[in-house]
C-alpha cells in the first residue's frame, strides 16, 4: 500500500465530525463527502462510507471511497484517512491510501452495472456490492468486514508513517 499525504484543515475535520459522529459510520454519495478531494478521484467515485473512531483527544476518520475501475470491471475501495491528536496541540494528518490489498477491497458487480452507469450516469443510484445495508450505524453494525479492514489497514499504514 502507498500513502499519499493530502492537506486538510480543521474545518474539513469538523465537517467530517458533523457528517458522521465518532464511533459510527455513514454511507454518503460522492458529492456528499465533506472533504475537497482531488476532482480526478472524486469523479471516479460512486459513493463512500465514512467511518469515525476515537474520542475528543485522539480520533481517526476513514472515508472509504467506492471508486469505479472500468478497466477491470470492478468497484474498488480507495480509502482517505485523517487523524487528529489534540493532546497538547492540534496535530492533523491526512492522506490517500492507494493499492490496498485486504479481502473484499474489490467487488465485481457485473457487466449490467457498467453498462448502466456508462450509458445513463446513474452511478449514485445503482446498488453496489459491498455497501452496508444501513446508511448509518454503530461500528459494530458496519458490514461487510472489508470496510473495517480498510479502516485498520489505513490506520496501520498511517502509524508506520509517524
pLDDT tens per residue, the chain (162 residues)? Answer: 999 999 999 999 999 999 999 999 999 998 899 998 888 899 888 899 999 999 989 999 999 999 988 788 888 999 999 999 988 778 899 999 999 988 888 888 877 776 676 665 555 445 566 788 899 999 999 999 999 999 999 999 988 864
Instruction: Please check whether residue 97 is in contact with residue 2, taking contact to mean a CB–CB distance below 8 angstroms.
Output: yes
- Backbone φ and ψ of 78, nearest 5°: -130, 90
Query: Tell me, what's the pLDDT at 57?
Result: 93
Residue 3, burial from CB neighbour count under 10 angstroms (0-12, 13-18, 19+): middle
Query: Tell me, what's the pLDDT at 162?
Result: 46
Instruction: Locate the domains of the chain by residue range.
Output: 2-161
Whether this prediction's pTM lies above 0.85 is answered by yes
- For 83-141, give the DSSP string: EEE-SSS-EEEEEEEES---TTSEE---HHHHHHHHHH--TTTS--TT--SSSEEEGGG
Q: What does each C-alpha distance from 136 to 74, 98, 99, 133, 140 come to in angstroms?
A: 24, 26, 27, 9, 11
Query: Tell me, what's the pLDDT at 118?
Result: 62
Q: Which residues pair with 78 in a beta bridge?
A: 65
CA distance 36 to 83: 16
Q: What does each C-alpha distance from 107 to 18, 21, 156 come to in angstroms?
A: 29, 27, 23
Q: Provide the grid cell at 127.
A: 446498488
Amino acid at each position: 500500500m502507498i500513502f499519499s499525504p493530502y492537506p486538510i484543515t480543521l474545518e474539513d475535520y469538523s465537517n467530517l465530525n458533523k457528517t458522521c459522529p465518532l464511533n459510527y459510520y455513514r454511507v454518503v454519495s460522492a458529492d456528499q463527502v465533506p472533504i475537497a478531494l482531488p476532482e480526478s478521484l472524486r469523479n471516479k467515485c460512486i459513493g463512500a462510507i465514512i467511518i469515525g473512531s476515537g474520542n475528543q483527544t485522539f480520533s481517526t476518520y476513514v472515508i472509504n471511497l467506492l471508486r469505479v475501475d472500468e478497466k477491470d470491471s470492478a468497484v474498488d475501495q480507495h480509502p482517505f484517512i485523517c487523524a487528529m491528536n489534540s493532546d497538547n496541540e492540534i496535530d492533523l494528518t491526512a492522506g490517500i491510501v492507494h493499492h490496498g490489498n485486504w479481502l473484499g477491497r474489490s467487488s465485481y458487480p457485473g457487466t449490467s452495472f457498467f453498462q448502466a452507469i456508462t450509458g445513463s450516469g446513474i452511478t449514485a443510484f445503482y446498488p453496489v456490492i459491498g455497501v452496508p445495508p444501513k446508511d448509518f450505524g454503530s461500528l459494530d453494525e458496519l458490514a461487510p468486514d472489508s470496510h473495517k479492514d480498510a479502516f485498520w489497514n489505513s490506520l496501520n499504514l498511517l502509524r508506520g508513517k509517524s
